[in-house]
């Protein structure tokens, strides 16, 4: 008889209400493959609040706590404390928040939890805008992207907030980026985060969003892969805020990634060049921190 391996088990039921090609669904699938059934998921308001289903229906095979938009860090701290009081040190607590619930309104609760070094994993599945309410810009929306609330010429003129650096500045025990297009790397990092009990761990997963980004659903994983291959979304880990490890070195021009998506279709040649310069500068900084 063939033994079922832990990673063969899927903790998402078929029949969820996600858009075809939703990167956030794949992200949850890989995260739970690594964390396993002894996981409790805290979900602040976001697309995943809908994807998880209205109680008593659910698309997940693990317990879910729906939380107010700003409270991902605080709610997970409380769930951890309740489990500890019941003598359960085995269950992993994971906050699963969008970029709005992490970079913006959720940031103070996250920062507070990290400063207290609460024992849980905070995951940001980052689709780079407020998708659930109609593609409004967030501080994670990248330079050059058009949203339904980008003032000026209709596209964002400021850079995406660097959330990993903000968390590293807290001297968080573990912060890492991950991609749905690199599942082995992603599952390894979630397993590492799970095994590092005793402090806050932060995972930043780029989650492609076909309607929000203007890509065909079948291009979702390709877009995620190109984000890494162009160094727009580098794969790396930071331990204790200071020890940097790069997991992949991209070499593709940023145009390959940008031209795939309608949210960047207004950009001209000189805009692509500006973005390439920003990406190169960030990549050089990162290499310097990793000492390579
Ligand atoms: C205090 C508060 N303000 C606004 C909302 C409405 N709201 C629900 S989800 C959401 C956007 C969430 O964006 P993000 O965290 O990026 O997740 P996504 O929808 O993109 O998956 C907003 C504004 C809310 N639920 N609570
Ligand atoms: S709007 Fe985007 S993030 Fe939300 S379910 Fe659809 S594809 Fe996923
Ligand atoms: Mg979002």
Q: Is 99 in the pocket of ligand 1 (CB under 6 A)?
A: yes
Task: Supply the pLDDT for residue 105.
Answer: 98
List the helix and strand counts (H, then E) for the chain.
Answer: 10, 8
Q: How far apart are CA 178 and CA 51, in angstroms?
A: 21
> Under DSSP, is residue 51 helix (H, G, I), strand (E, B) or coil?
helix
Q: Is 21 in the pocket of ligand 1 (CB under 6 A)?
A: no
Largest alpha-carbon pair distance within the chain? 63
Q: Which of 16, 208, 212, 215 to mutate to test the pocket of ligand 2 (most atoms within 8 A of CB)?
A: 212
CA distances 14 to 11, 17, 21, 25, Å, are 10, 9, 14, 11
Q: How far apart are CA 58 and CA 179, in angstroms?
A: 25
Q: How far apart are CA 163 and CA 122, in angstroms?
A: 12
Q: How far apart are CA 139 and CA 80, in angstroms?
A: 29
- What is the reported pTM? 0.97
Is 14 exposed, middle or buried, given 0-12, 13-18 or 19+ CB atoms closer than 10 A? exposed
Task: Supply the pLDDT for residue 55.
Answer: 84
Residues with CB under 6 A from ligand 2: 18-19, 22, 24, 47, 127, 131, 209-212
Q: Which residues contact 145 (CB under 8 A, 6 or more apart)?
A: 128, 129, 137, 155, 156, 263, 264
Give the chain's residues under pLDDT 70: 1-6
Q: How far apart are CA 139 and CA 123, in angstroms?
A: 17
Q: How far apart are CA 43 and CA 52, in angstroms?
A: 9
Q: Which of 130, 140, 145, 163 to mutate to test the pocket of ligand 1 (most atoms within 8 A of CB)?
A: 130
Task: Supply the pLDDT for residue 3.
Answer: 56
Q: Is 212 in the pocket of ligand 1 (CB under 6 A)?
A: no
Task: Supply the pLDDT for residue 2.
Answer: 53
As a dihedral over the C-alpha atoms of residue 211, residue 212, residue 214, residue 216, rounded to 10 degrees, the angle is: -40
Task: Supply the pLDDT for residue 149.
Answer: 97
Strand order through the sheet with 236-239: 64-67, 39-44, 92-97, 121-126, 201-206, 174-179, 236-239, 243-246
Q: How far apart are CA 194 and CA 75, in angstroms?
A: 18
Task: Supply the pLDDT for residue 231.
Answer: 98
Task: Supply the pLDDT for residue 50.
Answer: 96
Q: Which of 45, 47, 100 to mutate to test the pocket of ligand 2 (most atoms within 8 A of CB)?
A: 47
CA distances 231 to 14, 37, 102, 226, 270, Å, are 33, 34, 22, 8, 19
Task: Supply the pLDDT for residue 6.
Answer: 63
Q: Which residues contact 274 (CB under 8 A, 6 or more apart)?
A: 143
């Amino acid at each position: 008889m063939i033994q079922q391996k832990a990673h063969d088990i899927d903790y998402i039921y078929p029949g969820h209400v996600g858009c075809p090609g939703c990167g956030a669904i794949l992200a949850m699938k890989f995260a739970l493959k690594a964390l396993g059934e002894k996981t409790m998921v805290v979900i602040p308001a976001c697309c995943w609040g809908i994807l998880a289903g209205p109680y008593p229906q659910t698309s997940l095979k693990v317990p879910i706590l729906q939380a107010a938009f700003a409270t991902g860090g605080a709610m997970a701290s409380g769930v951890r404390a309740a489990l500890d009081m019941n003598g359960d040190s085995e269950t992993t607590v994971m906050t699963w928040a969008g970029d709005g619930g992490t970079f913006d309104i959720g940031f103070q609760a996250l920062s507070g939890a990290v400063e207290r070094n609460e024992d849980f994993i905070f995951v940001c599945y980052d689709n780079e805008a407020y998708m659930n309410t109609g593609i409004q810009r967030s501080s994670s929306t990248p330079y050059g992207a058009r949203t339904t609330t980008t003032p000026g010429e209709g596209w964002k003129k400021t850079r995406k907030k660097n959330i990993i650096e903000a968390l590293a500045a807290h001297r968080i025990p573990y912060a890492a980026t991950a991609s749905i297009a690199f599942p082995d790397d992603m599952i390894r990092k979630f397993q590492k985060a799970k095994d590092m009990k005793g402090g806050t761990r932060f995972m930043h997963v780029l989650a492609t969003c076909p309607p929000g980004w203007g890509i065909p659903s079948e291009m979702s994983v390709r877009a995620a892969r190109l984000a890494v291959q162009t160094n727009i979304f580098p794969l790396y880990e930071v331990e204790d805020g200071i020890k940097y490890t790069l997991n992949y070195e991209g070499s593709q021009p940023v145009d390959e990634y940008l031209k795939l998506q309608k949210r960047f279709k207004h950009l001209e040649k000189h805009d692509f060049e500006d973005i390439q310069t920003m990406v190169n500068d960030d990549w050089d900084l990162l290499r310097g921190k990793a000492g390579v």
